[in-house]
Amino acid sequence: MMALLRNDLLYWIARRTERWYAREWLAAGAVVLALLVVFAQLIFMLLPGKDDGTGEAPEIVAEMSFVEFQEPTETVQSETRDLSDEIIETDKPADEKPVNWANAVDPTMDFDQRFTARLQVESSADDYPASARRSNLGTVTAAVTLYISADGRIRDVRIRNLRTSSGNIDAFRGDFVQAVRKIFLTKSRLISSPYKSGGEAKDFTWDTTITFTLQ
């Protein structure tokens, strides 16, 4: 009996929809979808919900904590030491430790401040090596790196290169290296304050040049 009714229903639907176009099918689909949504909402409303027994919504409590800011009670000021009138030692004490270039910092890499080392270098034509005076080398320029300690003393010198306006300097390189070291270690001094980082003086390196002329 049920099978017969189902077949009759399907036959009736087929006859009613055999002349339907896309518009009729879309409308029918929308009606069926709306009925399914209503049916699902009814089922959801009839299902028993979870209850904690109080009947009240849970309360959310946010706790906040504050950190009190206290100003420092003491003000620490860094002292600047001016070495412009101080005589820099030129002779190394016998018990002085050798220079470790790895301990020196490069102030040009400190982007928080602009540091310039002002040097007083005393040189003259007499510093031109005697062995090279008749070699027609002309003007000789030495590019050097100085090791300056935290107390402002020039502790060591490295010669990066030697350039001449004419001739070949190879035969006299050792003489010019010795002359450069003598000038910076015995006749030069730092006249500005040493480099400081965080208020503390540091050993540092500084690049500069010196020129030898016969005039």
Residue where the block lists tokens 């929809």: 17
Residue where the block lists tokens 């002349």: 19
Q: Which domains does the chain have, with CATH numbers?
A: 101-212 (3.30.2420.10)
What's the pLDDT at 153? Answer: 95
In the chain, count H helices and then E strands: 3, 7
What's the pLDDT at 95? Answer: 58
Looking at residue 190, its amino acid is L
Choice between 11 and 115, residue whose per-residue pLDDT is larger? 115
Is the pLDDT at 78 greater than 80? The verdict is no
What's the whole-number average pLDDT of the chain?
Answer: 77
Is the pLDDT at 90 greater than 60? The verdict is no
CA–CA separation, 75 and 84 (whole Å): 28
CA–CA separation, 112 and 50 (whole Å): 63
